[in-house]
Structure 1
Amino acid sequence: MSKVLMKGNEAIGEGAIRAGCRHFFGYPITPQSELPHYLAKRMPEVGGVFLQAESEVSSINMVYGAAGAGVRVMTSSSSPGISLMQEGISYLVGAELPCVIVNVMRGGPGLGNIAPAQGDYFQSVKGGGHGDYKLIVLAPASVQEIIDMMQLAFDLADKYRTPVMVLGDGILGQMMEPVELDDEVTVPEIPARPWAASGLKGREKPNVINSLYIVPEECEKLNQRLFAKYAAITAAETRWEEYRLADAEIVLTGFGTCARIAKSVVDKARAEGIKAGLIRPITLWPFPAEVYAKATAHAKQFLCVEMSMGQMVEDVKLAVNGKRPVHFYGRSGGMVPLARDVLAEVRKLVAGGAK
């Protein structure tokens, strides 16, 4: 085991390599460009395939082809690039193909800027493309967690035959932190893919990968099967972190970088005698609604901290179900909330009481 200083984008690539991914198709866009740059070097070293496509549309369709052939495959982009991939992502869901999609978010809407943001929450957790579907969405909060989470992402994709999105922001992609890595890269055992379009292999008929269901009754059956799968995912794969939550009267919540900021605010508030706690969703979908509902037994109010105009607030409000007020503090367009300003908001809410 060695400790190495790594940038978040590089950690995503190394984590994918160590998870057994040997195929990457993508297109450079700031602030995630270090990821394809890293994999352009690393993939050939491990006998893998790296291909810079001509666009994000091409990238996601190459992922469709590779996933259909039965290999572990991923792509990555940043906000507007992910928007271009939405049709292909919906196709991947409809064909029930496992893959990993990484979004290192930047400021928006539109072309926006290259600063960190979290304005792609709705796009990620509500199904950004056409049709009824969900993605498993994982939200790391440190470079070490990025490394570990890539293995989980590929495993979940294979287990449920579904695309998995790893959602970070420009800070996580660009920041450097020490990570612990095994000295040897050991490729995990990858599950068999008897459904893959990879030749007859003793079968009488070839496998067909398809997301086209012309007959409405058959398309409805697909949707029903997908949502039965989503119910199983919700029951088994919902993940979150609790911090100083047991007696918290004001509960902060945020994901990714904002969760780190909120955690420091919790400690500062506790030092002032304010009973603050934190819920950090690790799976943004499935959303850990149950832990918020349970927290209403002692929490008087909730505060969402986001780098957006408050997209996660809706899910927290649904989880709390009107039992407690849910407040919001955030910055958008590439601006980052400061701990001192969030703490000031906490003081104001506590002084005002739950309304």
Structure 2
Amino acid sequence: MAKVLMKGNEVIAEAAVHANCKYFFGYPITPQSELVAYMAKRLPEVGGLFLQAESEIAAINMVYGASSAGVRVMTSSSSPGVSLKQEGISYLVGSELPAVIVNVMRGGPGLGSIQPAQSDYFQATKGGGHGDYHIPVLAPASLQEIVDLMHDAFDIADRYRTPVILMADGMLGQMMEPVEFKEKQHVELPEKDWATTGTRGDGGPKIVNSLRLDPKELEEHNRHLQKKYEKIKEKEVRYEMYLAEDADYIVVAYGTVARIVKNAIHKARKEGIKVGLIRPISLWPYPQKPFDETREKVKAYLTVEMSAGQMVEDVRLAVNGKSPVHFYGRTGGMVPSHEEIYAKIMEMVGGES
């Protein structure tokens, strides 16, 4: 299939359709409103259902109902809208219901701005709702990667019976790039024999519920969830290492920021400074292996984010005190330039040499 030039939000929507998502419930909020508009037109063309809910809270609970019936379903929003969905997300986790939740992040806190940010990292990776849970979080850095990861997001959701978050900053939602929608190879996934599709002579009624009033039963359910998370940690880690093999210094960044970092790395290497990149693609589970492979030999790490410093905590945990970890961040919708990042690299090199 030939490449087509598309806007990021529309790529997210079309990629979901290609991943056989037929149901979407959402509510418009900048900078992801085009995603909702695209789904309104596209889903009826493929025999699906689009419904604009009266609120973000309503949308996530509609997702709960559709997923209970065993269909592939998605919702999307931007930062404050995702905050409103957190109770429903926890219910999805507790009921072990698969769904994909897209967050096209904007500046905060509060209503903040409509500019791009990465300040929802804690919310996504540490469990934004109540209870002991994790959600797989995938963070693309290009529109083509959105296409590829969307298939993975739905497959992971179905494989482990869990919601999955696809997290993009507002710049990815608003930029345009050529993309190719390739046919994905068939992946074996477990049957949805738990879905509430009627009895049909297959063992009686199905019940989907997150309420367990017996504390022993609830504890056993939590232990089951924790075992599932261990499997996800083992099987679903994704990352990119770029010019890291011979690097004396490593920059850690994800999403759009990682693309900007590559320009700073090229500039540093022209000056004879060996700098590489670790780009987490799965923000949860967080990739430990690239840090294990580099932390004994690099002089220092630099974490760059569009936040006041959130992922840097996971970098420090991964490095485990073996090397210094520096941080550079812009907030409120400000995007770091490669010149700023290069200057911070040079500052780090001067301090660690």
TM-score, L = length of structure 1:
0.97
Structure 2: distance between partners of 1:250 and 1:326: 10
State the secondary structure of the residue aligned to 1:284.
Answer: strand
Structure 2: distance between partners of 1:255 and 1:223: 30
C-alpha displacement of 1:203: 2.5
1:262 maps to: 261
C-alpha displacement of 1:351: 1.4
Q: Are 1:45 and 2:45 matched, yes or no?
A: yes
Structure 1: distance between partners of 2:267 and 2:184: 40
Q: Are 1:70 and 2:70 matched, yes or no?
A: yes
Structure 2: distance between partners of 1:177 and 1:16: 17
1:294 maps to: 293
Change (3 A) 1:118 1:266: same
Runs ≥4 in structure 1, deviation > 3 angstroms?
184-191
Q: Deviations over 1:99-148 (max 9, x none)?
A: 00000000000000100000000000000000000000000000000111
Structure 2: distance between partners of 1:235 and 1:24: 30
Q: Are 1:163 and 2:163 matched, yes or no?
A: yes
C-alpha displacement of 1:185: 10
C-alpha displacement of 1:265: 1.1
C-alpha displacement of 1:191: 5.1
Structure 2: distance between partners of 1:277 and 1:201: 57
1:218 maps to: 217
Greater shift in the superposed pair: 258-267 or 327-336:
258-267
1:241 maps to: 240
The sequence identity of aligned pairs, in percent, is: 62
Q: Are 1:82 and 2:54 matched, yes or no?
A: no
1:277 maps to: 276
Counterpart residue type for residue 26 of structure 1: G
Q: Is the 8 A contact 1:19 1:188 kept in 2?
A: no
C-alpha displacement of 1:293: 2.4
Q: Is the 8 A contact 2:27 2:54 kept in 1?
A: yes
Where structure 2 has 5 or more consecutive residues not aligned to the other structure, the ranges are none
**Aligned positions of 1:1-355 closer than 5 A:** 1-182=1-182, 192-353=191-352
Q: Is the 8 A contact 1:20 1:188 kept in 2?
A: no
C-alpha displacement of 1:190: 7.0
C-alpha displacement of 1:180: 1.4
Q: Deviations over 1:236-285 (max 9, x none)?
A: 11010000001111100111011111111111111111110000000000
C-alpha displacement of 1:192: 2.6
C-alpha displacement of 1:290: 2.2
Q: Is the 8 A contact 2:159 2:189 kept in 1?
A: no
Q: How many residues align?
A: 353
Structure 2: distance between partners of 1:74 and 1:201: 27
State the secondary structure of the residue aligned to 2:41.
Answer: helix
Structure 1: distance between partners of 2:186 and 2:235: 25
Q: Is the 8 A contact 2:15 2:181 kept in 1?
A: no
C-alpha displacement of 1:204: 3.6
C-alpha displacement of 1:96: 0.3
Q: Is the 8 A contact 1:138 1:283 kept in 2?
A: yes
Q: Is the 8 A contact 2:296 2:322 kept in 1?
A: no
Q: Is the 8 A contact 2:93 2:162 kept in 1?
A: yes
